[in-house]
Amino acid sequence: MTINNGETLIKVEGLKKNFGKLHALNGVSEEIRKGEVVVVVGPSGSGKSTFLRSLNLLEEPSEGKIYFEGVDITDKKVDINRHRQKMGMVFQHFNLFPHKTILQNITLAPIKLLGMSKEEADKKGMELLERVGLAEKANAYPSQLSGGQKQRIAIVRSLAMEPDVMLFDEPTSALDPEMVGEVLELMKQLAKDGMTMVVVTHEMGFAREVGSRVIFMADGEIKEQGSPKEFFEHPKDPRLQEFLSKIL
């Protein structure tokens, strides 16, 4: 896949999500273009995770539309499972499958969903494991890995489906501080390889260094966005100024 800046991959229109009386998202419209690394930041309860989880419909929107590669995936007639195959997702708590080995974690979806042969999937899985330097863990179980290793495996598991976009939901928030670096390093590599990424994170260093665009959310709305430089150096929204003063 060639990187084609400017081509819209995900388009969100008037997205609202209510949990009972709580309005988690208050009408968000946004576009994610191919090759972009969009970093979403904001205080807790700002709706940033809900926004991310709505992109692959893990949260069903209460209102609004989401287009992925031109298809309205909020349309009930659309087979969301097929589109999810193209949207990798990485979770805060890894969610590796504890009853499967590392290699099986990676090959399960390609074998069952893409109809890949076991040999082919194993070969590809091993290649990916080599790439992240965890080949020797192929036959280990998730519980034998450190947090950082688990998260790198979770990323590899998503990559095995050859997604067009990767969604990261606070991928380093559950990690011990000394393991954050290895995960961010892998994400940086992905970004360099041209992967389209949407990343919800508290890692401002990552946002500044790797992000092509930073979005600030609060109260279920996008309050401000821009290039990392202008975002961090010249924040306009008072909520963002307050937020940045607290965390930087």
Partner 1 sequence: MSFGERFAFNFIDSKRWTYIADGLKVTLQITFLALLIGIVLGFVLAIIRSTYLKTGKLKILNLIAQVYITVIRGTPVVVQLLIIYFVIFGTVNVSKVLAAVMAFGMNSAAYVAEIVRSGIMSIDDGQFEAGRSLGFNYFQTMIYIVLPQAFKNILPALGNEFIVLLKETSVAGYIAIQDLTKGGDIIRSRTYDAMFPLLTVAVIYLVMVMIFSKLVNMLERRLRNSDH
CB of 185 to partner 1, least distance (A): 23
CB of 149 to partner 1, least distance (A): 15
For residue 234, what are its two tokens? 């010249």
Question: Buried b / exposed e across 73-97, counting CB within 10 Å, b at 16+?
Answer: bbeeeeebeebbbebbbbbbebebe
Decide whether 157 or 239 has the Cβ nearer to partner 1: 157
Task: Give one DSSP letter per residue of 99-136, joined into a string.
Answer: TS-HHHHHHHHHHHHH---HHHHHHHHHHHHHHTT-GG
Decide whether 21 or 99 has the Cβ nearer to partner 1: 99
Q: Is 65 exposed, middle or buried (0-12, 13-18, 19+ CB in 10 A)?
A: middle
Who contacts 52 (Cβ-Cβ below 8 Å, separation ≥6)?
40, 167, 168, 169, 198, 200
Identify the three-state secondary structure at position 166. Answer: strand
Strand partners, 28: 15
List residues near partner 1 by CB under 8 A.
Answer: 56, 58, 81-82, 84-85, 87-89, 91, 93, 95-99, 108-109, 112-113, 141, 143-144, 154, 157-158, 161, 167
Decide whether 158 or 225 has the Cβ nearer to partner 1: 158
CB 216 within 8 A of CB 240: yes
Task: Give one DSSP letter per residue of 15-66, joined into a string.
Answer: EEEEETTEEEEEEEEEEEETT-EEEEE--TTSSHHHHHHHHTTSS--SEEEE
For residue 17, what are its two tokens? 């999500």
Decide whether 26 or 95 has the Cβ nearer to partner 1: 95
Name the nearest CA neighbour of 222 among 34, 39, 57, 75: 39
Identify the three-state secondary structure at position 230. Answer: helix
Decide whether 134 or 161 has the Cβ nearer to partner 1: 161
Decide whether 98 or 238 has the Cβ nearer to partner 1: 98
CB of 142 to partner 1, least distance (A): 8
